[in-house]
Chain A
Amino acid sequence: QQQVKQSPQSLIVQKGGISIINCAYENTAFDYFPWYQQFPGKGPALLIAIRPDVSEKKEGRFTISFNKSAKQFSLHIMDSQPGDSATYFCAASMTGGFKTIFGAGTRLFVKA
């Protein structure tokens, strides 16, 4: 019930294309769903996050789509750029809790 399942494990996208990464969770008590971006040699950093009272959140080229009934959420990167090449982690946590549960990660490579 504590798992967050992330797919795909790796993704190759042409420059200018759309990158899509999917995550699914089981615990309906989760109420905070962040995405972290990690470049080689660096720690993860928060990219964008959503709470379940909205179905979509957009920040620049990055959009989270959230489907509460299906217990799924996804990250869309529009107009993908080589500088977006990184590992992306979805995650979930809950109000009053201390732990963040992370997905296994997706390695994105954007071809120039």
Chain B
Amino acid sequence: DVKVTQSSRYLVKRTGEKVFLECVQDMDHENMFWYRQDPGLGLRLIYFSYDVKMKEKGDIPEGYSVSREKKERFSLILESASTNQTSMYLCASSSQPGQGATEAFFGQGTRLTVV
């Protein structure tokens, strides 16, 4: 069974803290993504990576950074957490588009609360 695993289901952090969200996939996928999900706004792309050490900004990268040192692992970093970053964070992976766009596989999500 294919898997995208996020390290935490729930996190509570204080304003100003540096926060690390970890994601691991076991499908040997080239592409990995970080989204945040907020009610009424759907899934918004924060960052994505199409190869090791490669990263691209998504639609809402401000306040975030990412790291991809190994193919299977993609980390999202909140440099200085703020209350407006309270959200559900979803990691996803997909294979190279190749002949056509392909399915994205999602982790179970991390619900982050910044107090």
Are A102 and B48 also in contact (CB < 8 A) when A31-B100, A95-B99 are? no
CB <8 Å contact, B43 and A98: no
* Residue from the list A32, A46, A89 in contact with B43, Cβ < 8 A: A89
Interface residue tally on A, bucketed by range: 20 to 34
CB <8 Å contact, B97 and A97: yes
**Interface SS of chain A:** loop
**A-B CB contacts (within 8 Å), total count:** 63
Are A41 and B41 also in contact (CB < 8 A) when A31-B101, A95-B99 are? no
16 more A-B contacts (CB under 8 A) besides A95-B99, A102-B42?
Answer: A31-B100, A34-B103, A42-B109, A43-B90, A43-B107, A44-B90, A45-B105, A89-B42, A95-B97, A95-B101, A97-B101, A98-B48, A98-B97, A102-B35, A104-B41, A105-B40
Residues on B facing A (Cβ under 8 Å): 4, 31, 35, 40-45, 48, 50, 56, 58, 90, 92, 97, 99-109
